Amino acid sequence: MSRGKKFAALTLLSFIVLVIVGAKFSGHQGDATGTRTGSLSDYLNASGSPDAKDVPISQVGINQLASEAGHLRVSINFTWLLMTGFLVLFMQVGFAFLVTGLTRAKNAGHMMMMNLTSFAVALLAYFAVGFALQFGGIAPVANLGGIAPLNGLTPHGNWGLIGTHGFFLQSAHGYDVGVMALFLFQVVFMETAGYIIIGAIAERVSFAAFLLAEVVMGALIYPIFGMWVWGGGFLAHLGQSYNWGHGAVDFAGSGVVHATGGWAALAMAVVLGPRLGKFNRDGTPNAFPGHNLGYVVIGTLVLVFGWMGFNPGSTFGATDLRISVVAVNTLLAGCCGTVTALAWTNAKWGKPDISMTCNGMLAGLVAITAPCAFVAPWAACVIGIVAGLVVCYGVWFFDHVAHVDDPCGAVSVHGLCGAWGVLSVGIFADGTYGDGWNGVSGPVKGLIYGDGGQLLAQVAEVVVGFAWAFGLFYVIFKLAKNFMAIRVSEAAEIEGLDVPEFGAHCYPDFVLVSHEIRGDHDNGDSYALSGDGHGSSTQVP
C-alpha cells in the first residue's frame, strides 16, 4: 500500500472510531426527541415577560396554554430555519452552473465534480470538527429554545477564540434537536464559503489540492473566524471590551462567509499562478470566454432564489417579522448591482457584458448580506450600486493590474464586495433593529446615524478576516506545494482536466477543439494562441 493510501485509510478509520466512541460515551442527555425544547419559559423569555418563577402557581391552566404557545413559537422558528437552510443548500446548484458556464467546455466535468465533492468533503469536516469550534459556545439562542448543550466557550468572557462542545454532533450532549437545526443551517453557510474558492482556482487546480482546501475550510478556516463573529468570540465582543458599537455585526455573513471564501480564493489563485496563456509577457491579459453563458445566467438566478434563505433565514426565526425587510433589502441591492454593472460595461465597452452583469447581481447580494437587517431600503440601493462598481473595477484590477487569474471573478464578487458589505453596516445601520445585539443595549447605528464606534468594529472584522483567511490559506498551500501536486501538468491543462483527472469527458458527443498554446505562461509568446476566442474550446458536432 502506498503512503497516500495508508494515510487515507487511517483517516477514514479514525473518523469512524471517533463517531462510535462519541455515540457510546456522550450519553443522550440533550433533547434528542424535541419534546422538552420550547416551553413556558421560552414564551415568557422571548416575549419579554417576567420570568416563569414570577407566575402564580394557581395559573396552572394558563401555564399549560402558554407552554403550548412557547413550544409552537420554537416550532415555527425551527421550520423557518430548516426551510431557509434548504434554500441555501440549493445555492450549490446555482454556483455549479455559474462557474461551469464561466469556464471552458474541456474542463466542465472537473468543475462539476469539484462542486459535488466540495459539498460532501467540507460537510464531513464541519460535522467532525468545524461546527463545535464555531458554535460550541453559542448558547443560549432564545429563538431555538436555548440550545443548552452548546455552552463550551474557550476562553470565557470577551476574548473567546473557539467553541468546545458538539464535536461529531455528540460531545457534551450535542445530540439535540436545537443543535441539529443550528447545524443544518450553519453547514450550508460553510459550504458557500467552501465552493466560492472554485471560481478562482478553476481550470488548473489538481483535484487533490482542492479536496485539501475543502477540508481546511470546513474544519478550521471558516469555523474559527465564524466563531469570532457569530459564536460569541472576541470580534463580537468588541462592543463590550472596547465600546466599539455592538462589536462586529455581520447579519448573514458578508464577511464571515463571502469575504472568507473570497480571500481564501485569492490566496490559492496567487499560489497556483495563472492559467497557461492567460497573461502575455508584458502582463496584458487574454480573454478565455466561458463556454455557456446560459449556465451563467441560470446559475445567477438560482443564487438569487437561494439568497432568499441566506439572508431572511439568518434571523433564526419566523417570529422575528424583520424578515420581510431583510428579503426586500436583499432584492433591492441585487438589482441595483445588476443595473450598475450593466450600465458600467455598456458605457465602457459599448455593449453590456452578460457575465459581468451576472457578477454585478451577485456583488449586490454579497454586499447586502451583512447589513440587510439594519438598513433602510434606500441604503440597500446605495450599497448595491457601490457593490456593482466595486466588482467591475475589481475584475479589471485583478486582470490588468494585479495579474491574478480569477476565471469567475470570485475574489472581486465575494472578497471585495464582502468587505464592502461588512463596512456598510458601520455606515448605514439606521438604529431601527438590533437592540441588545452582541449584548450591547440599544439598536445598531452606523456612522451617519451617529455611532462611529460601530464602523471601527466593522473595520476590525474586515482586517482580521483578511489576515486570517488569506494568510492561512497562503501559508498552507505554499507548504502543500512541497509535497503534493497542487496544479495539474501542462499537458493536462492544455487537453482539459476532465480526462486526466477523472477519465471522462463532460461532453463526449462533441469534438472539443483544444487550441494549441505556443510558448507558456512563464516565457515565450503566450499571447499567440491559435484558434478562435484565444484558447476557448469550441464544439464542432
Minimum CB separation from another protein for residue 355, in Å?
6
Nearer to another protein, 132 or 200 (CB): 200
Q: Can you read off the three cell numbers belonging to residue 273? A: 499562478
CB of 207 to another protein, least distance (A): 26
Query: Which is closer to another protein, CB of 287 or CB of 467?
Result: 287
CB closer to another protein, 57 vs 347: 347
In the set 431, 452, 500, 531, which binds another protein (CB under 8 A)?
531
Provide the minimum distance between the beta carbon of 356 and another protein in the complex, in angstroms, as a whole number.
Answer: 6
496, 104 contact by CB (below 8 A): yes
Q: Which of 365, 370, 327 is nearest to 457 (CA)?
A: 370
Binding of another protein by 56 (CB under 8 A): no
Nearer to another protein, 176 or 399 (CB): 399
Kindly give, in sequence order, each residue whose CB lies less than 8 Å from that of residue 261, ignoring residues fewer than 6 positions away.
Answer: 192, 193, 194, 195, 196, 197, 217, 222, 410, 414, 415, 418, 469
For residue 86, count CB atoms less than 10 angstroms from its CB and return exposed for 0-12, middle for 13-18, buried for 19 or more.
middle
Q: Distances from the Cα of 112 to the Cαs of 287, 379, 497, 536, in angstroms?
A: 22, 37, 11, 18
CB 507 within 8 A of CB 499: no
Our CB check for another protein shows the closer of 445 and 515 to be 515
When asked if residue 533 is in the footprint of another protein (CB under 8 A), the reply is yes
Residue 92 binding another protein, by CB under 8 A? no
Shortest approach of another protein to residue 476 CB, angstroms?
29
To another protein, the closest distance from the beta carbon of 527 in angstroms equals 11
To another protein, the closest distance from the beta carbon of 276 in angstroms equals: 16
Helix axes 452-480, 260-272, angle to 10 degrees: 30
Other C-beta atoms closer than 10 Å to the C-beta of 285 total 16
Q: Which stretch binds another protein (CB under 8 A): 129-137, 228-236, 443-451, 526-534?
A: 526-534
Helix (H) or strand (E) holding 313: none
Q: How far is the CB of 283 from another protein (least distance, A)?
A: 12
Relative orientation angle of helices 108-125 and 177-201, to the nearest 10 degrees = 150
Distance CA 334, CA 92 (A): 18
Q: Is 286 in the site for another protein (CB under 8 A)?
A: yes
Alpha carbons 363 and 447: distance in angstroms, whole number: 23
| 34, 140, 285, 524: residue in contact with another protein (rule CB under 8 A) | 285
Tell me the CA end-to-end span of the chain in Å, nearest whole number: 44
Q: How far is the CB of 382 from another protein (least distance, A)?
A: 24
Q: Which is nearer to another protein, 306 or 409 (CB)?
A: 409
- Cis before 155 (ω within 30): yes
Q: How far apart are alpha carbons 261 and 410 in whole angstroms? A: 8
Q: Whose Cβ is closer to another protein: residue 431's or residue 531's?
A: 531
By beta-carbon proximity to another protein, the closer residue of 103 and 314 is: 103
Q: Is residue 289 at the binding interface for another protein, with CB under 8 A as the rule?
A: yes
Is residue 287 involved in binding another protein (CB under 8 A)? yes
- Residue 281 grid cell: 509577457
Q: For every residue of 34-76, which 3-state class applies, written as one string?
A: CCCCCCHHHHHHHCCCCCHHHCCHHHHHHHHHHHHHHHHHHHH
Site for another protein in 386-425 (CB under 8 A): 392, 395-396, 399-400, 409
Q: How far is the CB of 353 from another protein (least distance, A)?
A: 6
Nearer to another protein, 490 or 532 (CB): 532
Exposed (0-12), middle (13-18) or buried (19+): which is 17, by Cβ within 10 Å? exposed
The site string for another protein over 334-373 (x = CB under 8 A, - otherwise) reads -----------x--xxxx-x-xx-----------------
Range in contact with another protein (rule: CB under 8 A) among 216-224, 283-291, 456-464, 471-479: 283-291
3-state secondary structure of 517: strand
Which amino acid does the sequence have at 505? H
Q: Does 541 bind another protein (CB under 8 A)?
A: yes
CA 198, CA 108: separation in Å to the nearest integer? Answer: 12
Residue with Cβ nearer another protein (22 or 285): 285
Tell whether residue 322 is a contact of another protein (CB under 8 A).
no
Residues binding another protein (CB under 8 A):
285-287, 289, 345, 348-351, 353, 355-356, 392, 395-396, 399-400, 409, 531-534, 540-541
